[in-house]
Every structure is written in structure tokens, then in C-alpha cells.
Structure 1
Amino acid sequence: MTNRIAFASALAIAALLTGAPAEAKGCLKGAVVGGVAGHMAGHGKMGAAAGCAIGHHNANKKAKQG
């Protein structure tokens, strides 16, 4: 339980420190989805990290298109 609280706190601090809200939004949304999927597979932290990276990538791709 403390690992989840520490991870959520670190993720929130990282989101606050990022400059562009679209990138943070993509990361947070991806991290939540990836964390849930990873948790089901037994790898929540790795899923959250991968989800953040994918969400960040998709947010950048969407920003370049529009």
C-alpha cells in the first residue's frame, strides 16, 4: 500500500513539474491505464511507466497534427 502512495505522489509531483499540460495529460492518462493493465499482469509500475511513455508520445503526435 505504501508503494502505491509513493508512486502516486511521485507521479503527481512529476506532472506538476512538467511545462506543457498536454504532455502531462497524456502521461497521466497513459500511466493510469498502463498501471491498471500492468497491475492485472503483476507489473503495475512497469505498466504505468510504459503507459506514460505511450501517452506522452500520442499527445505529442496529436499536437503536431493540429
Structure 2
Amino acid sequence: MKRTLVGAAVALAALTAAGGAEAKGCIKGAIVGGIAGHYAGHHGLVGAAAGCAIGRHRANARARQMDQQQMGSSAQPVSAR
């Protein structure tokens, strides 16, 4: 129990220290990874860290894809009448 509380405190401190843009995707990934890590051999902290990294990667990839779609749609030429 004590180990879980310390882990939660460390995770909370890390999340509050991260900026808003850096935390995008991290919180959801950390929660899912922490739960999965806990049930896969009591490695909740390792799972939370990995989940955070994966969540951030996916959020950044999604943001890049949205930027490319917006640039692609705004770069189309306007047809002449």
C-alpha cells in the first residue's frame, strides 16, 4: 500500500511539473499503462511511464496528421469561374 501511494505521489508530481502541451496523451496513457503494469507482475510505475510515453507519441502523431490535413485542404487551388 505504501509503495502504491509513493508511486501515485511521484506520478502526480511528474504530471503537474509537465507543461500542458507535453502532458497531452500522457495522463490517459499513464493510467492505462499503470493498471496494465500492476496486473502484469506489480510493475505499475513502469507501466505508467511506458503508457505516458506511448500516449504522448500517439497524441503528437495525431496532431501532425491533423496539421497535414489542414495544410493540404488550404493549399488546394480555387477554381476559376
Shared fold per TM-score greater than 0.5: yes
Number of the residue aligned with 1:41: 40
Amino acid of the structure 1 residue aligned with 2:36: A
Amino acid of the structure 1 residue aligned with 2:4: R
Q: SS of the residue aligned with 1:9?
A: helix
Distance 1:24 1:7 in 2: 18
Number of the residue aligned with 2:72: none
CA RMSD, Structure 1 to Structure 2 (Å): 1.5
Number of the residue aligned with 2:51: 51
Q: SS of the residue aligned with 1:28?
A: helix
Identity score, percent: 55
More helix per residue: 1
Distance 2:18 2:34 in 1: 20
Shift of the alpha carbon at 1:58? 0.9
Structure exhibiting the larger radius of gyration computed from Cα positions: 2
**TM-score, normalised via structure 2 length:** 0.68
C-alpha offsets along residues 6-38 of structure 1, whole Å, 9 cap, x if unaligned?
1111111111111224x3141111111011111
Question: What 5-or-longer segments of structure 1 have no aligned partner?
Answer: none
Amino acid of the structure 1 residue aligned with 2:39: M
